[in-house]
Amino acid sequence: MKIKSINDEVVTLLTNDEDKYLSFTNFSLLGRDSFKCKVNISSRGFKYEKEVYFDNMNTFIENIEKMSSTLLGETELKEEFNEHFIKFSLTKSGHVIVSASFVEYSDHSQNIFIEFESDQTCLAPLAKELRKVANYS
């Protein structure tokens, strides 16, 4: 894949809880919707920090913006041919459930699943920061 542009923005989900966080750094935009970045996610001691590819950046951003305004729905950031994902789901009480799964295949394969709760106020700032990265060239 040819790199369209590189962006050193840090995009952070504002959880208001230091034991739960999600951030994206070291973006390499690879096309209209594809990118790779370093994902740093943690919930109560369980952590994942690694470079990951995703294929649906614009759809994910649009869905986050829609969820922020309607307080309904869910969306998933994923790569087309791999099993890893980061998913946001809104509950009826206005909470956002953030879940993520990352799989590494080898002789001794590993899988980590992390999930935590935040509130809907984290959605609009996240969408705004991701939109900045997506429009960067």
- Do 20 and 40 meet the contact criterion of CB atoms below 8 Å apart? no
Rounded to whole angstroms, the Cα distance separating 15 from 4 reads 31
User: What pLDDT digit, counting tens, does each position of 40-93 carry?
Assistant: 999 999 999 999 999 999 999 999 999 999 999 999 999 988 889 999 999 999
Rounded to whole angstroms, the Cα distance separating 98 from 21 reads 10
User: What pLDDT digit, counting tens, does each position of 1-30 carry?
Assistant: 455 656 778 999 999 888 999 999 999 988
What pLDDT does residue 4 have? 62
What pLDDT does residue 129 have? 94
Mean pLDDT of 26-39: 89
Rounded to whole angstroms, the Cα distance separating 20 from 17 reads 6
Write down all domains in the chain, each with its CATH number in brackets.
Answer: 5-134 (2.30.31.10)
